[in-house]
Amino acid sequence: MAYTAKILLLGSGELGREFVISAKRLGAYVIACDAYDKAPAKQLADANEVFSMLDGERLRAVVEQHRPDYIVPEIEAIRTEVLAELEEEGFTVVPSARATQMTMNRDAIRDLAANELGLVTSRYRYAKNLDEVRAAAQHTGFPCVIKPVMSSSGKGQTTVRDAEGLEAAWDYAVANMRGDRQRVIVEQFVDFDYEITLLTVRHKGGVTFCPPIGHRQERGDYQESWQPTPMSDAAIGKAQDMAKRIVDDLGGHGLFGVEFFVKGEEVIFSELSPRPHDTGMVTLVSQNLTEFDLHARAIMGLPIPANLRARPAASAVILAERDSSALSYDGMAEAMADGADLRIFAKPTSRPYRRMGVALATASDTEDARRIARAAAAKVQILYRD
């Protein structure tokens, strides 16, 4: 079989699905892995494996079976110590085994940013029980934000206004933790003007930045994003400087989603993902090269343009309302009537607030694009047949 690269994709959600499309356009052979069959990326990949990424023995067996050129994590819940061992044995982990280990847990990446690199962050402490949560909240003050050190798409996150809300926030964080560590980060609530994702590409030619992406969250999960978002040159410069410092420290090649809070000219580091970011779905229509194209190019050692530009565009998520294993969709024609585009992720099951698709729109400015995308997302109806 002829291919340009063999890629083992660890995690096969909607971001992995778009990455598979980009990688296969460049001639790659992709094996998609996830804990369940018929995951979105598996529907398009050349081959697939079903197993939990936290099963270290199975993870090693799959890597040794397929002998990929690149091991590409798409999710955080992975037995990262096995990736480190595999990297030492000569396999290429994207962007690096150290990056996957550092970013799998919010505590490691926050300590790196704040303590080793000196980046501007909010006040924070960690806690592994309710008593420690109460003590941490006294350090940060109220309001504060409590979230698991390891979770997916912002799940388990609560903004707490007073001491009476700490126990419920702790319980919610524990219920939504991933991995095998019961630990939360309690951090100062930042009264920011807006928050951004700065997609940062580290490649063999250096580091390249996409225009900043604004986004809005609910329940700790993104609801809409838009690009470009207005920022002063000074604020953009601060964000780019911090992003470059941390991705250079983590090493390797690939796309990183670096999140910041912005208050006036002050830029505060929040989080980092060493892979395409959910808010970056907007790049499917805003940029000639999407975040997935850029990730694939960087991984495979292909050129990245020096200047990446974005037309005004927006994305808005399509959410499920309940559990179901028998789904269909209606209203797509109406949703697309005003020029919006849709991506339906084809997930085999739904649950409350699960992201099932996204509406995308371009316009003369981002506010108009946001309006079109939100209206389109609202017109898509998920039909539950069970």
Catalytic residues: 152, 154, 259, 271, 278-279, 355
Angle at which helix 97-104 crosses helix 233-250, to 10 degrees, equals 120
Query: In the numeric block, which tokens belong to residue 163?
Result: 């001491």
C-alpha closest to that of 351 among 384, 380, 315, 378: 384
Is the backbone peptide bond immediately before 274 cis, with ω within 30 degrees of 0?
Answer: no
Query: In the numeric block, which tokens belong to residue 78?
Result: 């992975």
State the CB neighbour count (10 A cutoff) for residue 162. 10
How many angstroms separate the CA atoms of 204 and 303, rounded? 8
Query: In the numeric block, which tokens belong to residue 370?
Result: 């946001």
Please tell me the total number of residues recorded for the chain in this structure.
386
How many angstroms separate the CA atoms of 360 and 341, rounded? 5
How many angstroms separate the CA atoms of 285 and 340, rounded? 10
* Residues in contact with 50: Cβ distance below 8 Å, sequence separation at least 6, in sequence order: 33, 34, 35, 36, 37
Q: What is the DSSP string of 149-167?
A: SS-STTTT-EEE-SGGGHH
Cβ-based burial of 233 (10 A; exposed 0-12, middle 13-18, buried ≥19): exposed
How many angstroms separate the CA atoms of 258 and 330, rounded? 35
Q: Assign 256 to helix, strand or coil.
A: strand
